């Protein structure tokens, strides 16, 4: 079973961050440029303050008629960040995402951010793992015929 650390080795450990005072509009421009669905919000000391997702934008800006150019990320970010550690399995990450209904998990290692995984990353890893098992079973069955 693959760990989150192994997943990050394959996909990379870059984490896109913004400061709490960044405008929602600027954060969205970054997300569009990087083709990502969330940015981690960190303070000047690099400590995690929250996470801003596309869902936060839809629910807390668009649906209430706020201006994305005038609203700081701190006003709409999710403050209670759900995260995983590098030693958690990919299956544990997927279960946590399902339970907490989130699509992005920062990876914290000793209190420091070491990466970010999305539901897409996790599903790709699970499918890859299942395909390996299927190949092994096919070889086993073919060998016993």
Full residue range of the structural domain in which residue 128 is found: 4-143
Helix H, strand E, coil C: the string for 98-134 is HHHCCCEEEEEECCEEEEEEEHHHHHHHHHHHHHHHH
pLDDT value of residue 20: 98
pLDDT value of residue 144: 66
pLDDT value of residue 145: 63
Say how many domains are in the chain. Answer: 1
d(CA 64, CA 74): 16
Helix H, strand E, coil C: the string for the chain is CCEHHHHHHHHCCCCCEECCCCEHHHHHHHHHHHCCCEEEEECCCCCEEEEEEHHHHHHHHHCCCCCCCCCEHHHHCECCCCCECCCCEHHHHHHHHHHHCCCEEEEEECCEEEEEEEHHHHHHHHHHHHHHHHHHHHHHHHHCC
Backbone torsions φ then ψ of 51, nearest 5 degrees: -140, 135
Encode the chain (145 residues) as per-residue pLDDT tens digits: 799 999 999 998 899 999 999 999 999 999 999 999 999 999 998 899 999 999 999 999 999 999 999 999 999 999 999 999 999 999 999 999 999 999 999 999 988 999 999 999 999 998 888 888 888 888 888 876 6
Q: Which CATH number fits the domain that encloses residue 86?
A: 3.10.580.10
pLDDT value of residue 99: 96
pLDDT value of residue 131: 85
d(CA 144, CA 84): 41
The b-or-e profile of 17-38 (16+ CB within 10 A means b, else e) is: bbebebbbeebbeebeeeebbb
């Amino acid at each position: 079973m693959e760990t989150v650390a192994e997943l990050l080795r394959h996909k990379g450990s870059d984490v896109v961050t913004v400061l709490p005072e960044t405008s929602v509009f600027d954060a969205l421009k970054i997300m569009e440029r990087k083709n990502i669905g969330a940015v981690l919000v960190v303070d000047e000391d690099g400590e995690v303050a929250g996470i801003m997702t596309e869902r936060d934008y839809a629910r807390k800006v668009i649906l209430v008629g706020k201006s994305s150019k005038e609203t700081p990320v701190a006003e709409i970010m999710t403050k209670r960040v759900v995260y995983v550690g590098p030693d958690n399995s990919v299956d544990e990450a997927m279960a946590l995402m399902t339970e907490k209904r989130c699509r992005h998990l920062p990876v914290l290692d000793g209190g420091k951010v070491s990466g970010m995984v999305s539901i897409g990353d996790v599903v790709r890893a699970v499918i890859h793992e299942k395909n390996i098992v299927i190949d092994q079973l096919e070889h086993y069955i073919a060998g016993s015929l």
